[in-house]
Amino acid sequence: MQPRFFRSPRSSVLMRILLVFLAALCVYATAAAWINRRFINDSTRAQAYQGTQQSIEMFMSGIEMELINARNISNALLFNPDIARWLKTQETDRDIALIQSANQALLQSFSAFTDIASVYIFDEDCADINASNHITFNTVPDIHIAPWYDRARELHGRPYISLNADGTMFANSGQNNISYIRQILDTLTMMPAGYLIINFNERLITNITSRVDAKHGTHFYLLDGNGQSIIHGQNIPPEALGIPPEGEVRSAGGKAAFWYQVSFSPPDYPALGWTIITGTPYSEIRTLPNAAVSFLLPLLISVVLFIIGSVYTASRITRPVQGLIASMQDICDGQMNPIPSDHRRDELGKLEERYNAMIASVKAAFERQADTEREKGRYEREFLSEQFHLRLLLNSLHTVSAYIHNGNLDRAGRTLTDLNHFYSHFYTVGQLVIPLRQEIDNLRGYLSLQKTQHPNMIDDRYDIAPETEELPVLRNILLPVAHSSVLKGILPAGMPGILSVEAKLAGDELVLTVRDTGAGIDEERLALLNEELSDGVHAGYGLRGTIYRLRLHYNRSDLCDVTSLPDQGTSVHIRVPLDALDEEASLNASP
Burial of 296 (0-12, 13-18, 19+ CB in 10 A): exposed
Q: Are 53 and 47 in contact (CB under 8 A)?
A: no
Q: Tell me the per-residue pLDDT of 329-345, one tens digit each, with 9 for 90 and over.
A: 777 776 777 777 666 67
Q: Is the pLDDT of residue 295 over 70?
A: no
pLDDT band of residue 374 (cuts 50, 70, 90) is low
Question: Is the pLDDT reported for residue 2 higher than 50?
Answer: no
The mean pLDDT of 150-176, rounded to a whole number, is: 88
Strand partners, 435: 472
What pLDDT, in 10s, does the model give residues 33-89?
A: 666 555 544 556 677 777 777 778 888 888 888 888 888 888 888 888 888 889 888
State residue 419's pLDDT score: 66
Say if residue 562's pLDDT is above 60: yes
CB 364 within 8 A of CB 357: no
- Identify the pLDDT of residue 591: 45
pLDDT digit string (tens) for 464-482?
999 999 998 887 788 888 8
371 pLDDT higher than 70? no
Q: Which of the four pLDDT bands, split at 50, 70 and 90, describes residue 225?
A: confident
Pairing of strands 219-223, 472-474: unpaired
Q: For 479-512, give one letter per residue: b (16+ CB within 10 A) or e.
A: bbbbbbbbebbbbebeeebebbbbbeeeeebbbb
**Is the confidence at residue 3, as pLDDT, over 70?**
no
Alpha-carbon distances, residue 43 vs 48, 51, 295 (angstroms): 9, 12, 16
| pLDDT over 80 (residue 581) | no
Provide the percentage of residues in the chain whose pLDDT is more than 90.
Answer: 8
114 or 470: which carries more pLDDT confidence?
470
Question: Do 250 and 239 form a contact (C-beta atoms < 8 A)?
Answer: yes
**The pLDDT of residue 500:** 95
Which neighbouring-strand residues pair with 308? none
Phi, psi of 18 (to 5 degrees): -60, -40
SS3 383: helix
* Strands lying side by side in the sheet with 128-132: 128-132, 116-123, 192-201, 177-185, 160-163
CA atoms of 325 and 323, how far apart (whole Å): 5
Q: Which amino acid is at 300?
A: L
Are 582 and 571 spatial neighbours (Cβ–Cβ below 8 Å)? Answer: no
What's the mean pLDDT when you consider all of the chain?
76
Amino acid in position 494: G
Q: Which of 60, 53, 55 is nearest to 218 (CA)?
A: 55
At what angle are helices 44-78 and 81-88 packed, to 10 degrees? 60
Of the listed ranges 30-39, 147-156, 189-198, 480-489, the one predicted with least confidence: 30-39
- Of the candidates 568, 571, 570, 549, the residue with the CA atom closest to the CA atom of residue 559: 549
**By percentage, how much of the chain surpasses pLDDT 70?**
72
Cα→Cα distances 143→84, 93, 214, Å:
19, 21, 41
| pLDDT at residue 311 in the model | 67
255-264 vs 248-252, strand pairing mode: antiparallel
Q: What is the pLDDT of residues 305-332, one digit of tens each?
A: 777 766 676 666 666 777 777 777 777 7
Q: What is the pLDDT of residue 197?
A: 92
With beta carbons less than 8 A apart as the criterion, state whether 321 and 349 touch. Answer: no
Query: Do the bridges between strand 458-464 and strand 497-506 make them parallel or antiparallel, or are there none, so unpaired?
Result: parallel
When pLDDT is averaged across residues 431-446 and rounded to a whole number, the result is 84
The answer, yes or no, to whether residue 441 has pLDDT greater than 90, is no
CA 161, CA 152: separation in Å to the nearest integer?
A: 10
∠ Cα 464 466 468 (to 5°): 75
Largest Cα span, the chain:
120
Position 41 scores a pLDDT of 47
103 vs 557 pLDDT, higher one: 103
pLDDT band at 233 (very low <50, low <70, confident <90, very high): confident
Phi, psi of 252 (to 5 degrees): -150, 130
For residues 324 and 203, the model is more confident at 203
Among 489, 504, 490, 486, which Cα is nearest to 573's? 504
Of 123, 126, 272, 136, the residue nearest 198 (C-alpha): 136
pLDDT at 535: 65
By DSSP bridging, strand 177-185 and strand 192-201 are antiparallel
The pLDDT score that the predictor gives to residue 333 is 73
Alpha-carbon span 44 to 286, nearest angstrom: 8
The rounded distance, in Å, linking the Cα atoms of 386 and 378 is 12
Where is average pLDDT lowest: 378-387, 443-452, 453-462? 378-387
Confidence of residue 587 (pLDDT cuts 50, 70, 90): very low
**Residues 479-525 pLDDT 10s:** 888 888 888 889 888 899 999 999 999 988 899 999 999 888 888 88
Instruction: Give the pLDDT score at 238.
Output: 78
CB 104, CB 127: distance < 8 Å: no
Residue 127 has pLDDT above 80, yes or no: yes
Q: 440, 382, 433: which is closest to 589 by C-alpha?
A: 433
Residue 11 has pLDDT above 80, yes or no: no
CB 548 within 8 A of CB 538: yes
- For the cut 80, the answer to whether the pLDDT of residue 198 exceeds it is yes
- 260 pLDDT band, cuts 50/70/90, is confident
User: Could you tell me which of 520, 501, 522 has the C-alpha nearest to residue 512?
Assistant: 501
